[in-house]
């Protein structure tokens, strides 16, 4: 059984649709609003939210969705048994339901969904939805790929937690269920598994895939039915500006999608069927991945979230702007499908990366006097400030800080020694990072090329060989990312994880990821994190640089905006935003 591999049979089509959607959004950034009069009329009741990533799907659980703004934008559209709070950890959401350990059982949990929980189209939220989420994330349902090897049917970004669930006992249509983990595989971070944006409306899949009994199909392993379910789950919730069929996008939260247009953004409106506290602002217009400076200049964003120092000329006068330390680590991710498939090449190139200067002059400067860590971050799993950071980072705190040009000159010789580094641009901070690397590596005879673009797709670029290195957060995420759970960061380097865009594979790292999923003892966890870092500094699939700085700004008239340093972003509590 193979867990978490991203299906290459659908990735090309997904990437093509994603590129088209992002290109449309890029055009939208410079198109004057044709609906300004409408927005002005609703100004008293509408807030604008600009975030620095496009949104290309309703399904944040696909690889496509994980790299989009969906986790930050849709947390109050698609709710769950928990949400990621402002500390980057799971907070139980009792509006949706409850999950409690079964007395006397070390690995079972009872789930009770709220009796009033209903989607915006009037269909009740049931345990069918939990079964679909588990089936999609588990990695257990496969089909032969082009080379005959089994590939997962579902294009899931990660199988973290789901792969360890043995079964979900669910009477179709019921408001209760029991989740049973495999013996000895109770996931420590179980509260995060069915969190906001992970539970999709199974009744839509049942209708569109023509599989009326999803629970039955999953329990029986009906391959034909599951293939149809997966096909819709993978791409059926794609979002592009233009006319949308709202019957495909029912909401289980305070907001629902009303429209998505090039000149009007993604309009979220109050969900009248929401059974919890109503949102304080009836409408939120989201401007995902568009020209933030232009949107702010037009006065259409009262809440702004972007990489600190990324947008040149961004004028936030009149805003309460805060630079916060993300739970994400800015890093270089090597594409092991090409020249960097050789560890000696990765080591040689790392020799010309001026990590100390990048951290000090390109990244930590954005924090001003409140920098969380002066200098370099030398762990891929823990950040400075954690009591175990020094132990986990170990000797790496003293290596690769300054360029070692003698080492860099061991880079494989060729007629064209270009190394292409990509990221979603324009991004002033990342442009400066690449510039520092280019100037340093040139001294060793290595030509570094900046191949950033507005429609840059880290997954597609790596798979197609268009880039040699992606500059971004864990897994190459270009916007908000990360969780307080360090093991989820390490899982992005598991050989079968959908976020492992560099295609790195190392057996011992895979074992450590599996062990860390279920070990709760802090000392035992620290020992394994330290071992993982030792291996990763030897193998160098990535090069960590510094804590990512994020800017969260809200107009002075707006209250309720609370920065969130995780993948949930500032949008985690958008239903509490209101004009003061």
Q: How many CB atoms lie within 10 A of CB 313?
A: 7
Looking at per-residue pLDDT, the higher value among 535 and 375 belongs to 535
% of the chain at pLDDT higher than 90: 86
Q: What is the mean pLDDT of residues 244-273?
A: 97
Q: Which two tokens stand for residue 270?
A: 């109050």
Q: How far is the C-alpha of 433 from the C-alpha of 543, rounded, in Å?
A: 13
Q: What is the pLDDT of residue 15?
A: 39
% of the chain at pLDDT higher than 70: 91
149-204 pLDDT, tens digit each? 889 999 999 999 999 999 999 999 999 999 999 999 999 999 999 999 999 999 99
Q: What is the pLDDT of residue 370?
A: 62
Contact 108, 115 (CB under 8 A): no
122-146 pLDDT, tens digit each? 999 999 999 999 999 999 999 988 8
pLDDT grade, residue 1 (50/70/90)? very low
Q: What is the pLDDT of residue 220?
A: 96
Residues forming beta bridges with residue 151, ordered by sequence position: 143
Q: What is the DSSP string of 68-99?
A: SSHHHHSTTTS--SEEE-TTSSEEE-TTTEEE
Q: Enumerate long-range contacts of 227-231, CB under 8 Å, 24 or more apart.
A: 227/143, 227/153, 229/132, 229/135, 229/153, 229/205, 230/136, 230/141, 230/153, 230/154, 230/155, 231/10
396-438 pLDDT, tens digit each? 999 999 999 999 999 998 767 799 999 999 999 999 999 999 9
CA 482 from centroid of its chain's CA atoms: 7
How big, in percent rounded to 5, are the helix, strand and coil portions of the chain? 35, 20, 45
Q: What is the pLDDT of residue 385?
A: 86
| Residue 30 predicted with pLDDT over 60 | no
Where do the domains of the chain lie, and which CATH numbers do they carry? 8-19+75-235 (3.90.76.10), 326-548 (3.10.105.10)
Contact 532, 381 (CB under 8 A): yes
Q: How far is the C-alpha of 166 from the C-alpha of 168, rounded, in Å?
A: 7
Looking at per-residue pLDDT, the higher value among 36 and 207 belongs to 207
- Is residue 426 reached through a cis peptide bond, with omega within 30 degrees of 0 on the bond before it? yes
Q: What is the mean pLDDT of residues 46-63?
A: 96
> What integer best gives the mean pLDDT of the chain?
90
* Size of the chain in residues: 580
pLDDT grade, residue 371 (50/70/90)? low
Q: What is the mean pLDDT of residues 478-488?
A: 92
Residue recorded with tokens 């498939």: 341
CB-facing half-sphere around the CA of 76: CA atoms within 13 A: 27
Instruction: Tell how strand 46-51 and strand 283-288 pair up.
Output: parallel
Phi, psi of 57 (to 5 degrees): -160, 155
CB-facing half-sphere around the CA of 233: CA atoms within 13 A: 32
Q: What is the pLDDT of residue 35?
A: 33
Q: What is the mean pLDDT of residues 337-358?
A: 96
Q: How far is the C-alpha of 77 from the C-alpha of 389, rounded, in Å?
A: 36
CA 226 from centroid of its chain's CA atoms: 25
Q: How far is the C-alpha of 55 from the C-alpha of 71, rounded, in Å?
A: 9
Looking at per-residue pLDDT, the higher value among 371 and 462 belongs to 462
| Residue 7 predicted with pLDDT over 80 | no
């Amino acid at each position: 059984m193979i867990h978490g591999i991203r299906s290459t049979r659908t990735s090309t089509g997904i990437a093509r649709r994603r590129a088209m959607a992002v290109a449309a959004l890029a055009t939208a950034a410079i198109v004057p609003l044709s609906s300004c009069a409408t927005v002005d009329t609703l100004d008293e009741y509408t807030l604008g939210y600009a975030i620095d990533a496009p949104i290309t799907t309703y399904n944040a659980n696909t690889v496509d969705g994980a790299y989009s703004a969906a986790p930050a934008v849709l947390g109050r559209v698609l709710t769950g048994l928990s949400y990621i709070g402002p500390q980057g950890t799971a907070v139980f959401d009792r509006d949706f339901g409850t999950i409690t350990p079964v007395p006397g059982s070390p690995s079972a949990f009872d789930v009770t969904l709220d009796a009033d929980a209903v989607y915006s189209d009037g269909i009740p939220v049931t345990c069918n939805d939990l079964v679909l989420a588990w089936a999609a994330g588990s990695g257990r349902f496969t089909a032969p790929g082009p080379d005959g090897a089994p590939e997962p049917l579902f294009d899931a970004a990660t199988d973290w937690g789901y792969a360890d669930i043995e079964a979900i006992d669910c009477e179709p249509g019921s408001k209760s269920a029991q989740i049973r983990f495999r013996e000895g595989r109770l996931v420590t971070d179980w509260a995060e598994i069915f969190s906001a944006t992970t539970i999709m409306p199974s009744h839509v899949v049942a209708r569109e895939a023509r599989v009326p009994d999803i629970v039955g199909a999953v329990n029986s392993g009906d391959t034909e039915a599951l293939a149809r379910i997966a096909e819709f789950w993978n791409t059926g919730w794609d979002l592009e500006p233009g006319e949308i069929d709202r019957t495909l996008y029912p909401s289980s939260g305070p907001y629902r999608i009303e429209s998505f247009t090039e000149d009007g953004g993604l309009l979220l409106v109050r969900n009248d069927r929401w059974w919890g506290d109503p949102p304080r602002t009836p409408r939120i217009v989201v401007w995902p991945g568009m020209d933030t400076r232009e949107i702010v200049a037009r006065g259409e964003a009262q809440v702004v979230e972007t990489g600190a120092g990324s947008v040149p000329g961004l004028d936030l006068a009149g805003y309460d702007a805060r630079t916060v330390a993300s739970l994400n680590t800015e890093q270089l991710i090597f594409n092991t499908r090409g020249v960097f498939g050789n560890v000696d090449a990765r080591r040689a190139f790392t020799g010309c990366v001026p990590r100390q200067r990048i951290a000090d002059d390109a990244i930590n400067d954005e924090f001003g006097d409140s920098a969380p860590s002066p200098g370099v971050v030398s762990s891929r799993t823990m950040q400075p400030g954690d009591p175990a950071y020094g132990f986990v980072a170990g000797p790496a705190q003293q290596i690769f800080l300054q360029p070692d040009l003698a080492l860099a000159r061991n880079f494989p010789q060729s007629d064209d020694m270009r190394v292409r580094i990509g990221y979603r641009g324009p991004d002033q901070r990342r442009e400066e990072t690449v510039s520092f690397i280019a100037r340093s590596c040139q001294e060793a005879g290595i030509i570094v090329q900046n191949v950033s673009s507005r429609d840059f797709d880290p997954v597609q670029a790596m798979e197609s060989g268009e880039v040699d290195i992606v500059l971004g957060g864990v897994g190459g995420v270009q916007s908000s990312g990360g969780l307080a759970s360090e093991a989820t960061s390490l899982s992005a380097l598991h050989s079968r994880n959908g976020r492992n865009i560099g295609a790195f594979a190392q057996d011992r790292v895979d074992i450590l990821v599996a062990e860390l999923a279920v070990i709760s003892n802090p000392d035992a966890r620290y020992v394994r994190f330290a071992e993982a870092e030792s291996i990763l500094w030897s193998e160098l699939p990535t090069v960590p640089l510094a804590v990512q700085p994020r800017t969260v700004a809200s107009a002075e008239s707006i209250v309720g905006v609370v920065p969130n340093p995780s993948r949930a972003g500032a949008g985690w509590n958008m239903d509490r935003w209101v004009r003061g």
